[in-house]
Structure 1
Amino acid sequence: MNLQCPTCQSLMELIGTHAHCATCQHDYALEALCPDCQQPLDVLKACGAVDYFCQHGHGLISKKRVDFRIAR
């Protein structure tokens, strides 16, 4: 996944549920989206694991398939 910093357009590093821009030192909250319907996903956290669930009929979504965008 390649996220560009909205401030300086550099590529950002994904750190958990945030993106960090090393160039301008900004952090941005990310929103997880279903890759099938582009609706926000529920984030399920338990025992150190993070899972994603789509309430719009797509069920559990692998974190490898999740689309992220900068939260508004």
Structure 2
Amino acid sequence: MEQNFCPECQTEMHWHDNHYHCEDCGKNWRKQAYCPDCAAQLEKLAACGAASYFCNQCNELKSKSRIRIEFVRAE
């Protein structure tokens, strides 16, 4: 299972109400995927338990092993 660590305090976060929550610093985060070729924000497509990522700029699916994932503050 993948662990998700807070970008600010490096504590493991937990999934809570459609975002990740850090108990130590009290901040909420969401994961965002970016295209490895053009750096555009990717659209996540989920079907039958599998996730795929689509780049609207490149107009193609991107391999999960190549994408860049960042945590951004959830408002």
| Both proteins in one fold, TM over 0.5 | yes
Structure 2, unmatched stretches of 5+, are none
How far apart are residue 57 of structure 1 and its match?
1.5
* Aligned Cα root-mean-square deviation (Å): 2.9
* Alpha-carbon spacing, 1:70–1:43, altered in 2? closer, same or farther (3 Å): same
Higher strand share: 1
Contact 2:38 2:58 in 1 (8 A): no
Identity %: 39
Structure showing greater Rg:
2
When the two structures are superposed, what TM-score results if normalisation uses the length of structure 2? Answer: 0.62
CA distance in 1, matches of 2:44, 2:61: 10
How far apart are residue 19 of structure 1 and its match?
6.3
State the one-letter code of the partner of 1:71: V
* Alpha-carbon spacing, 1:67–1:19, altered in 2? closer, same or farther (3 Å): farther
Alignment-derived partner of residue 46 in structure 1: 47
Show the 5 A alignment for 1:45-64: 45-57=46-58, 59-64=60-65
**Structure 1 residue matching 2:46: 3-state secondary structure:** strand
In the alignment of these two chains, the number of paired residues is 65
